[in-house]
Amino acid sequence: MKDTDYLISWDKNNLKVNYTEVLILGSGVAGLFTAIKLSANYDVTILTKKNIMEGNTEHAQGGIAVALSQDDSPESHFEDTIKAGAGLCNLKAVKILAEKGPDCVQELIAMGAQFDRQNDQLDFTREAAHSKKRVLHAKGDATGEEIERALVATTQRCSIKVKEDAYVIDFLKNNNGEIAGVLVLDTPTSKLEAWLAKAVVLATGGLGQLYKYTTNPEVTTGDGIAAAYRAGAELLDMEFVQFHPTALLLPGSPSFLISEAARGEGAKLLNSRRERFMKNIPGQELAPRDVVARAIWEEMKDGPVFLDFGFLGPQAKERFPLIYKTCFQYGIDISTTPIPIGPAAHYLMGGVGINTVGETSLPRLYACGECACNGVHGANRLASNSLLEGLVFASAISEKLQTKNIVLDRWEDINLPEVPLGVSERYSSDSSNIRRELRNIMWKKVGIIRDSEGLLKAQNQLSKLWREFTPRPEIKELELGNMLTLSLIMVKAALSREESRGGHFRRDFPLTDQQWQKHSVQKRGEEHVCYVSI
């Protein structure tokens, strides 16, 4: 796999070099909360691929799960998370999530995040696989947007530098092999820059754009994960992708997320005959996401599937204003008409391997949020745990870094990437077509239901696309290189795990096997997938 052949010409002597104490890559909930927590004691800089508001956090509708209500407890939250994780959760990480979550959310509220209330009390809803109403929401279905607003406003009040339109190409190392910074393409000027730091925190989000249908925005191409892999970091559990069961499925419309909170409040799934097909499945519409997604996938073989909000009537517009507005744009009034829906790639449970304080396998590189994996989600993330995870483990990183005494590197001590970057005389004939093919392959063969035959075909087809691909020094091309790298990594992990567990379902190995109750590990240069016990 030519996962390091980024063909860009750059000269160390002519690069602009920037220095900061802590460098945060990404401006979602994980990156911003880390930056805020560290800003009192460190010089902190955030690099973000587009603008500070663009990412997965902003698009989170359902809410943030936290044990703050009187009839709830961290113990109950812990148990629900473990159950949803299909036997693959890191118990220590889940305990930290459940116990530290309330304090982190209270910090968020203190920063100005305004969650919905009823009778002046926080209003909690229930989502799939939760035994309690513990999901906070804002403006009905705009929770992520409100959290992002509060964090951005706090960031602007702190002494935090933010550089937008900064595309991270690769990590830089010092002479000791430690991560010392990143090589960045400044989009407005098309010039390369180096950013050096005492510590780098990776918070670049997921990789939903690898799939034809996804709830993720266009920026989620897995760039940070791929760069970490090239630098030698371990990747964990890359076979586990969560497909959200309900995304708007209309010709000409985006794969717009229809929040799980709708089913939490009683919305029903109907098949093409307008019959409920989840009523005989344990948990019904609130079964774990992987169960609901597969049930919908099977029903779609016979025709369209719908989500019916009819129980809410006129209140649907008030409770789910964003969903109502979006669907109305396409001629559907959700208060009277069921919505055509289908699954879409939503969340990566795997990512760059970290411990419970965010340390990766590379010295001075930390990670948190969707790009990272410490096993807290296991094989299937519990609904609305992702925003909480970003807060809790961002906080853990900030506490860990307070104890570090790291020296800032000098530019002359920095090594070049292992594979020299040079100009190619041959460019891809049609990179947009390669991207389209990649997303189709991933959706059809590495999606909700997998098998050996399809995965092997995917591996061959993706390898062929690699051979056809030679990137220009442009963001879309660099993104595609990362997408190809990660697609092949995910196929390799999915082929190796010969069982079904959580978000990974193998038609040819439909049972969950106890001998596979372990995490997959992949590292650049190693031919086979390794496994470690949970």
The residues assigned a catalytic role are 289
CA dihedral sign, ordered 249, 251, 256, 261: negative
Residue with tokens 């044990």: 67
SS3 state of residue 175? coil
- Which residues are paired to 184 by β-bridges? 168, 193
CA-CA-CA-CA torsion for 157, 158, 162, 168, nearest 10 degrees?
Answer: -140
Parallel/antiparallel/unpaired status of strands 22-25 and 44-47:
parallel
Question: In sequence order, what are the residues at sequence separation of 6 or more whose Cβ sits closer than 8 angstroms to the Cβ of residue 45?
Answer: 18, 20, 22, 23, 24, 160, 161, 162, 163, 195, 197
Helix (H) or strand (E) holding 293: helix 289-299
SS3 state of residue 393? helix
Residue with tokens 């691909």: 469
Backbone angles phi, psi at 494, to 5 degrees: -70, -35
Backbone angles phi, psi at 92, to 5 degrees: -65, -45
Question: In sequence order, what are the residues at sequence separation of 6 or more whose Cβ sits closer than 8 angstroms to the Cβ of residue 158?
Answer: 35, 36, 39, 40
User: What do you get for the CA distance between the two ends of the chain, in Å?
Assistant: 29
Alpha-carbon distance of 278 to 263, in angstroms, equals: 12
